[in-house]
């Protein structure tokens, strides 16, 4: 994002790799290689002055960001959040697996997915006015 001059903010629960994931079946096979790669990326981000914050983001923070016309990228095939409806309790997003349509899910399903163990609650806020 910084390379293309796009204003952004990356929030995560863990700066680097959480060693607790080493015994998770999804990570086990390539953990050591991936740990090195991910830790190097975090070090490069800091050196390149890419804004990475160790913080927790609430659903209200996400909704406020979307309400301003911005987007956010979260884990789950790196879906792109596009909007929400308070009336229906839905989040609208684009999923790379379904490039031809907008998807939606309930806020509760979204929260369960984005805060599940292994995600570090990673979220990239992208500001479309940049």
Q: Say how many residues make up the chain.
A: 130
Q: How far apart are CA 84 and CA 90, in angstroms?
A: 6
Check residue 80 and give its pLDDT: 95
Q: Which CATH number is associated with domain 59-126? A: 3.90.70.10
Residue whose pair of structure tokens reads 């979220």 in the numeric block: 123
3-state SS, residue 54: strand
Average pLDDT over residues 67-92: 93
Check residue 45 and give its pLDDT: 85
Model confidence band, residue 33 (pLDDT cutoffs 50, 70, 90): confident
Residues 6+ away with beta carbon under 8 Å from 100: none
Average pLDDT over residues 8-22: 79
Check residue 66 and give its pLDDT: 97
Check residue 9 and give its pLDDT: 92
Check residue 90 and give its pLDDT: 97
Domain positions in the chain are 59-126
Checking if the pLDDT of 76 tops 80, the result is: no
Q: How far apart are CA 19 and CA 85, in angstroms?
A: 37
Do the beta carbons of residue 122 and residue 130 sit within 8 Å?
Answer: no
């Amino acid at each position: 994002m910084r390379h293309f001059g796009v204003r952004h903010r990356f929030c995560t629960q863990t700066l680097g790799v959480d060693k607790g994931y080493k015994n998770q079946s999804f990570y086990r096979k390539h953990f050591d290689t991936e740990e090195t790669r991910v830790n190097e990326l975090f070090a490069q981000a800091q050196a390149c002055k890419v804004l990475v914050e160790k913080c927790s983001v609430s659903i209200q923070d996400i909704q406020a960001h979307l309400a301003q016309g911005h987007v956010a990228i979260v884990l789950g095939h790196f879906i792109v959040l596009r909007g929400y409806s308070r009336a229906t309790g839905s989040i609208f997003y684009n999923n790379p697996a379904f490039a031809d349509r907008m998807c939606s899910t309930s806020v509760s399903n979204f929260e369960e997915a984005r805060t599940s163990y292994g995600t570090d609650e990673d979220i990239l806020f992208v500001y479309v006015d940049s």
